[in-house]
Amino acid sequence: MNFKKLQIFVLAGAVSVGVVSCKKSESTSDQSNLVSKEVLSNISKLGFSTENVIARDGGYLVEGDILLTNENFTSQSQSPNLRIAQDEQYRTTNLVNALPRVITVSVTNLTTAFSQAADLAISRYNAQNLRITFQRVASGGNIDIVGFNEAASGGYITLGSAGFPTSSGDPFNQIKMNTNVQAYGSNPDVNYVASVLTHEIGHCIGFRHTDYMARQYSCGGKRKVNEGTAGVGAILIPGTPSTPDAESWMLACSNGGNRLFNANDVIALNYLY
């Protein structure tokens, strides 16, 4: 299939997102009416889009693949956000602390392709020589990668999802990956699955989508405006360009290929970790 623009990350599942129609569709039904006005207000104050918010898994799925919990609504930012050029690298309210630190990663009840992809995603981070490193364990990891099966709906399919670090400084503890054949096919490409996992791990350690303020850059469609009012300040990282940041690992929508860290991603990773 020619994946032209896959919405890659749907809430900690969807928080983490992809499109079967090969293009992100603006016709997806808006389920925000199922979420209270108070919750939508809290989401807006954190700087997230309130379009197509979905109540799921003990939280709320926003921006296609980010899971927000009640804790996210009450925690306060302890350090500045990041901005890269016209498309930003944003950090979230919380970051992983107690550095240097080893974060263990496990894979539960998934096929060999997902297991191999997890090892590859781990190696991509560890190659950056950060103050956080990742280590594969058989079970009970700080981040556990699990599966769910969900077909496409409204022109979209969730590839994976994850949440953000806790207020105590721990990484989000779970990544959900879609095992439905419409997500990765009957013979998943390990590099592609690893790219999705690398993105979802980015959420787990506190990164938001690079093109948060201009999601049409990777997703197409209408411009997504930053509606945030609290804790959304941004600091431009020295040495980054003033034009869109192509092929960042944290772009909101996937191109369906093997997306690696680009030069600005490396700057952002080293700035935080």
Quick one: pLDDT at residue 114? Answer: 98
Alpha-carbon distance of 73 to 109, in angstroms, equals: 32
State the pLDDT at residue 116: 98
Burial label for 105, CB within 10 Å (0-12, 13-18, 19+), is buried
Phi-psi region of 30 (alpha: psi -120 to 50; beta: other; left: phi over 0): beta
User: What is the reported pLDDT for 207?
Assistant: 84
Instruction: Give the pTM.
Output: 0.76
Where does residue 38 fall: left (phi above 0), alpha (psi -120 to 50 degrees), or beta otherwise?
alpha
Nearest CA among 137, 183, 130 for reference residue 17: 183
pLDDT of res. 2: 26
Q: What is the pLDDT of residue 108?
A: 98
**Dihedral sign computed on CA atoms, order 210, 95, 57, 226:** negative
Spatial distance between the Cα atoms of 51 and 7, rounded to a whole number of angstroms: 14
Query: What letter does residue 179 receive in the DSSP assignment?
Result: -
CATH class of 6-272: alpha beta
pLDDT tens track of the chain, all 273 residues?
A: 223 334 444 333 333 333 332 222 333 344 544 788 888 877 777 767 777 788 877 788 787 777 887 777 776 555 455 554 455 566 666 889 999 999 999 999 999 999 999 999 999 999 999 999 999 999 999 999 999 998 987 777 789 999 889 889 999 999 999 999 999 999 999 999 999 999 999 999 988 777 555 555 556 655 444 433 334 333 445 555 545 567 788 876 767 789 899 888 898 898 889
pLDDT at 179: 96
